[in-house]
Chain A
């Protein structure tokens, strides 16, 4: 039955049927095959249940925060701050790009928002200073990957909701790997800047200038502190942190930067509700199909099969990562995460891999898919905002994929990079 459902599902995708509907049709086909029509009532039950999960409440809030931030001109303030911080280094704007993504990551849970907000400002600025346009777009796409790794993270909420893992622990686990990504891209930027003689963008700022700029951009810097600090210290739940961030960004946008208007606010809400729906209906459809797969004990069977290949956790994680990488190249990332988690997470648990460690490996893996051609969303975004032809971008993005793969490998090989922080924070 599983093979039948899988073939039907893939065929449906190929003829252009939306994923959530393909999931429903495949579930229906599975039930027809089993011949027990009374099981049909399970489909709406699971569809509803898959969406009615308390932790998922954080998702629209994280998306809304990002949408409001971009309309409140908070990004500009962040960039000013990063400029005085690292603008004086060789390849200054490249470093600004990475550091801005790190700070941005603490407010926003999605890479796409990061790539479009930072890219639209920095790619033209970098090109003007003599950087190769596709390099500027590449580093924007690459560093945008930090977004879903440093908390908050939409991917982690989805993973946590599906595997019943605490979101707080996942968030804490992402901090070091996220910073590691940042460091890796800064090293890469340094190497390229020396090689191609990319310019220094600012002179070194005096202490006075740094304090002055910090004071001006403080409104933008408080947001990540509320969110990350609040969640990691266990003061607020991820959902509450999301709501506070929305509230904060809205207040700043309306009354401090004064860039947010009621019209823009409504626009942000409507954009958020559409993106949220797209994710949630896939969650619903996947819940229906997964119920059938569990009924047939598919996750256990897959787990047994893979554990027979190797029961070494590291080898298993490498195999799973390779599978996720390939699937991620061809499938939209949220969908890939929702479809793969229920199948691969049990494999990891059975092999004794720490579920938080695996969660971060999986999240990082899916995140990297955002910059792999041909489907990677962030490559498409930077190609559009940076005005670089897509074909050129597809070629020039690979060094950035390579660097993030090295970070992924480090995270797989050294579990404490993930487990250390949740451990000391008792999450």
Chain B
């Protein structure tokens, strides 16, 4: 591929991955905020108005799952998911490159598979409804395919950006 072609791909993936990073973090934050306010509302009704609301528990559980699934993409962008980097970093260059390819293939593969499987799982949820809110179960379940799809897209973008800037560094040094 030509140099300009590569640099366009680099710029696009860098900007797109930045956008996804901020968007997923923001959305995750909003869901967490709703979650906290919801728990506070439930306490207020239970202790001060002496009547429990039935929907607060489901709202709390489902907003947290959405917060987590968006947050997972944000955490990926910041490189915060728990992993062990000590060994992989010490490998000699050619082996290190091979390991990186294996890692990329495995992570992308499993995330794609998880996206597909969770779409199937969520589809089944349109037939039943949640107990308290009475919404289709697919609505909370959708957090999974959305989160997994975002993760795989973000992973690929981050890797493209990283690989390109690393090559540039090597060339300039």
A residues lining the B interface (CB < 8 Å): 12-21, 24-25, 28, 40-41, 43-45, 47-48, 51-52, 54, 56-57, 60-61, 64, 236, 239-240, 242-244, 246-247, 266, 269-270, 272-278, 280-282, 331-332, 334-335
Q: Looking at the complex, which one of A44, A57, A282 makes contact with B114 (CB distance below 8 Å)?
A: A44
Q: B80, A278: Cβ atoms under 8 Å? A: yes
Q: A19-B81, A60-B35, A244-B43 are in contact. Are A278 and B75 (CB under 8 A)?
A: yes
Q: A41, B121: Cβ atoms under 8 Å? A: yes
CB of B47 to closest CB in A, whole Å:
8
Return 23 A-B CB contacts under 8 Å, by A number.
A14-B84, A15-B88, A15-B99, A17-B103, A17-B106, A25-B106, A45-B121, A48-B118, A48-B141, A52-B140, A57-B61, A60-B35, A60-B67, A64-B36, A240-B42, A247-B40, A270-B29, A273-B31, A276-B64, A277-B70, A278-B82, A281-B81, A332-B82
Q: B75, A269: Cβ atoms under 8 Å? A: no
Q: A14-B87, A272-B32 are in contact. Are A277 and B39 (CB under 8 A)?
A: no
Q: In the complex, what distance in Å separates the CA atom of A273 from the CA atom of B31?
A: 9
Q: B36, A274: Cβ atoms under 8 Å? A: no
Residues of B within 8 Å of A280, CB to CB, are 64, 68, 72
Q: A273, B87: Cβ atoms under 8 Å? A: no
Q: A51, B68: Cβ atoms under 8 Å? A: yes
B residues lining the A interface (CB < 8 Å): 25, 28-29, 31-33, 35-36, 39-40, 42-43, 57, 60-61, 64-65, 67-72, 74-75, 78, 80-85, 87-89, 99, 102-103, 106-107, 110-111, 113-114, 117-118, 120-121, 140-141, 144
Residues of A within 8 Å of B42, CB to CB, are 240
Q: B71, A277: Cβ atoms under 8 Å? A: yes
Residues of B within 8 Å of A331, CB to CB, are 84
Q: A24, B83: Cβ atoms under 8 Å? A: no
CB of B101 to closest CB in A, whole Å:
11
Q: A243, B36: Cβ atoms under 8 Å? A: yes
Q: A274, B74: Cβ atoms under 8 Å? A: yes
Residues of B within 8 Å of A247, CB to CB, are 40
Residues of A within 8 Å of B61, CB to CB, are 52, 54, 57
Q: In the complex, what distance in Å separates the CA atom of A60 from the CA atom of B61?
A: 12
Most buried by B among A16, A47, A64: A16
Residues of B within 8 Å of A40, CB to CB, are 117
Q: In the complex, what distance in Å separates the CA atom of A13 from the CA atom of B74?
A: 21
The prevalent SS among residues of A at the interface is helix
CB of A98 to closest CB in B, whole Å:
29
Residues of A within 8 Å of B71, CB to CB, are 273-274, 276-277
Residues of B within 8 Å of A277, CB to CB, are 28, 67-72, 74-75
Residues of A within 8 Å of B67, CB to CB, are 60, 273, 276-277
CB of B165 to closest CB in A, whole Å:
19
* 16 further contact pairs, Cβ within 8 A, besides A17-B106, A61-B36, A274-B74: A14-B84, A19-B83, A20-B82, A41-B117, A47-B114, A47-B144, A48-B121, A60-B67, A64-B32, A243-B43, A273-B29, A273-B74, A274-B25, A277-B72, A278-B82, A332-B82
Per CB-CB distance, the 7 closest pairs between chain A and chain B, nearest first, are A277-B71, A16-B88, A18-B81, A243-B39, A44-B118, A44-B121, A280-B68
Q: B29, A269: Cβ atoms under 8 Å? A: yes
Residues of B within 8 Å of A270, CB to CB, are 25, 28-29, 74
Residues of B within 8 Å of A240, CB to CB, are 39, 42-43
Residues of B within 8 Å of A266, CB to CB, are 29
